[in-house]
Amino acid sequence: MAIEFRANSDFGQTGQYIARITGRAKNVTFAREFVGRKSGKRNDVTTALVDEPGLYEVVNCTRKGKDRDYWIVLEHEGELKRIRSDEEDFLAIAKRLDGSETLEQIVVFESVAREPEVLAAHPEWSATRLVYTIRNKLEVNRAIVATTIDAVVLAIVNAVGGLPKEHQKKALAEAKNRLFPKAERPKPAKMTKADAITFVKSCGENDGPETYAEAAEIFEALYGRAPDTTDGDQGQIWSLCCAAT
């Protein structure tokens, strides 16, 4: 559903506009894409129906000068929503839009509960209100990685899930072997605890070292002692190694 913006000019004034902010611009602060159409007897009204996320600037012309409103439009729970912002946040967001980040990566909408005293004073209001958060670059990178991992996992689940159950485990094991061949898994001559942890995580409980000597070396790096008869055989030692990580 589109969102409508409206800009007006007082009698005798002109120059109202609605613009989509796409970044920063030298001398004029923002790079703008003007949207909407003018109407009224003196073309003193501009309206725009927007159906895509963005930063929107609505400028009304009054006798005192230009009155600017800043709005962030994003999809939230399947619908386009808007939240009023300010010039300071617009400047920060626009600067980052000039890079490789998108608005959807930088800004997040979320619903938060209203304070009980506010609801008591305004019982007609909803129990939640919409707010926005500007992510820092580290948070954006984490979100990108999480989204990418989710997409890959979903693709794997869909592909393997289409196989007969008796072949699913074999397919996953074969994929793991192709991605992380045993010959490429780190196992230096003198293994440190960090090296041992990396090796164990790259193998998994069901795909451990091929000999007792290798399992014992990893065990010693993790536990600070060589395994003895109470620790069991090669398989039991490897299980203890996995438990330590």
The answer to whether residue 34 sits within a structural domain is: yes
Q: Residue 213: which domain range?
A: 183-245
Predicted local distance difference test score (pLDDT) of residue 202:
78
pLDDT digits (tens, 9 = 90+) for 184-222: 555 555 788 888 888 888 777 777 777 888 889 899 999
Least confident of 49-53, 127-131, 144-148, 203-207: 203-207
Query: 201 CB contacts (<8 Å, ≥6 apart)?
Result: 245
Predicted local distance difference test score (pLDDT) of residue 177:
80
Domain boundary among 109, 141, 162: 109
The percentage of the chain sitting over the pLDDT mark of 90, rounded to a whole number, equals: 51
Predicted local distance difference test score (pLDDT) of residue 35:
94
The answer to whether residue 232 sits within a structural domain is: yes
Distances (CA, A) of 128 to 53, 113, 217, 242: 22, 4, 57, 46
Q: Of the candidates 143, 159, 68, 138, which has an alpha carbon nearest to the alpha carbon of residue 104?
A: 143
pLDDT higher at 145 or 134? 134
Residues 104 and 9 in one domain: yes
Domains in the chain: how many in total?
Answer: 2
pLDDT digits (tens, 9 = 90+) for 56-94: 999 999 988 999 999 999 999 999 999 999 999 999 999
Domain boundary among 109, 140, 172: 109
Residues 102 and 192 in one domain: no
Predicted local distance difference test score (pLDDT) of residue 80:
96
Domain boundary among 83, 109, 135: 109
- By residue count, the chain amounts to 245
The answer to whether residue 9 sits within a structural domain is: yes
The percentage of the chain sitting over the pLDDT mark of 70, rounded to a whole number, equals: 96
